[in-house]
Structure 1
Amino acid sequence: MKAIVQRVMQASVTVGDEVVSSIGRGLCVLVGISRNDTVKEMEYIVRKILHLRVFEDDQQKRWSKSVVDKQLEILCVSQFTLMCTLKGNKPDYHESMAADQSKVFYEEFLSQLGKAYAPEKIKDGKFGAYMQVHIQNDGPVTIPLESPVTTQKESQKKEADTKGLASASSCDGTT
C-alpha cells in the first residue's frame, strides 16, 4: 500500500461540475492499493497518516504535531496509478488491486481512519470516478509512505529484475 501525504491549506475533489468533498487546513492523501495488500498494510498506513508530525506546535516549532494533535481534516483520494510500474514508457497497473476488491478495501481504510481518529474529519473523493483534485499544498510538504510489505516486495522484484538482466547480459557475451 502506498500513500502520498500532502500538508494542505485547503483541498477539494470535483467530479464534473460538482464539488464532492473539500477540507480546509489538514492533509490530502492519495491512496494506492496493491493487489497483495492486507489489513496489516492498511493498519500501518492508517497509523502513519494519523501520527505523521508535519505541523508546527503553538510556539511555531516545526515538525512537532500530527493531524490528530491539531484536530485537522483529512481528504483521501483513491489513486490506483500509485501502483504503476513502467514497461518502457508505458504505465502498467498489474500491481493494483482489482477495482471491485479495491473499493471494499478502500472503504475499510476510510472506516479505520475514522475509527482511529474522528469519522467527521475524514473526507474522500468518489471512488472510480474521473476526478479533479484541487490542492493548495502548504510548504510545500509532500511525504510518500509505503507499507513495509510493499517496499519489501518491490525490493525483491527489483533484485530479481537486476539478476535477470545480469543473466541475460552474461549469456549473450556482453558485459
Structure 2
Amino acid sequence: MRAVVQRVSSSSVEVDENIVGQIGPGLMVLLGVGQDDTAKDAIWMAEKVATLRIFHDEAGKMNRSLIDVGGAALVISQFTLFGDCRKGRRPSFIEAAPPTQANQFYQEFVAELRGQGVKVETGQFQAEMRVSLVNEGPVTLMIDSRKTF
C-alpha cells in the first residue's frame, strides 16, 4: 500500500462538480493499493498516518500527530501510485490491485483511520475527481507499507 500524505490547511474533492468530501486542517491522503496488499497493510498504514508527527508543537518543531492536533483526513483512492514509468512512455499499472480488491482495502484503511479517532472524508472510488488543497509547509511525504522507499 502506498500513500502520498500532505499536511493541509484545507482540502476538498469534487465529483461531477459536486463537493463529496471536504476538510479543514489535517492531512490529504492519496492512497494506492497494490496486488499483494492485505488487511495488515491497511491497518499499518492507518496507524502510521494517524500518528505521523508532522504538525508543529509549541516550539515550532514537527512533533505532533494528526490525532494530537485533532485534525481531519481527506482520503482519495489513487491507483496511479503503482504506475511504473521505468520503461517506455506509458505507465504500467500491473502492480496495482484490481478494483474490487483495491476498494476493499481502501475501505478498510478508512475504517481503521476512523478507528484511530480521526474524522475522515473521502472521494468516490473509481470516479473522475477534482482534488483541491492548500498544502501547509509545504509538507508532502510518501509512505509504502512494504518499505520499498
TM-score by shorter chain over 0.5: yes
Larger RCO, structure (CA 8 Å, separation 6 or more): 2
Unaligned runs of 5+ in 2: none
What do residues 87-119 of structure 1 show as CA deviations (whole Å, max 9, x unaligned)?
31211111000011211121111111111224x
Amino acid at match of 1:69: D
Higher strand share: 2
> What secondary structure sits across from 2:103 in the alignment?
helix
Within 5 Å, give how 1:6-155 maps onto structure 2: 6-57=6-57, 59-86=58-85, 87-118=87-118, 121-148=119-146, 151=148
Residue 60 of structure 1 deviates from its aligned partner by 3.8
Matching residue's letter, 2:107: E
What is the match of residue 172 of structure 1? none
Give the number of equivalent residue pairs.
Answer: 148
CA-atom RMSD in angstroms: 1.3
Whole-Å Cα distance in 2 between the matches of residues 40 and 106 of structure 1? 12
Which structure has the bigger radius of gyration?
Answer: 1
User: How far 1:10 moved relative to its partner?
Assistant: 0.3
SS at match of 1:123: strand
After TM superposition, the score normalised by the length of structure 1 is: 0.81
1:50 maps to a residue whose letter is A
% same residue: 38
The aligned amino acid for 1:15 is V
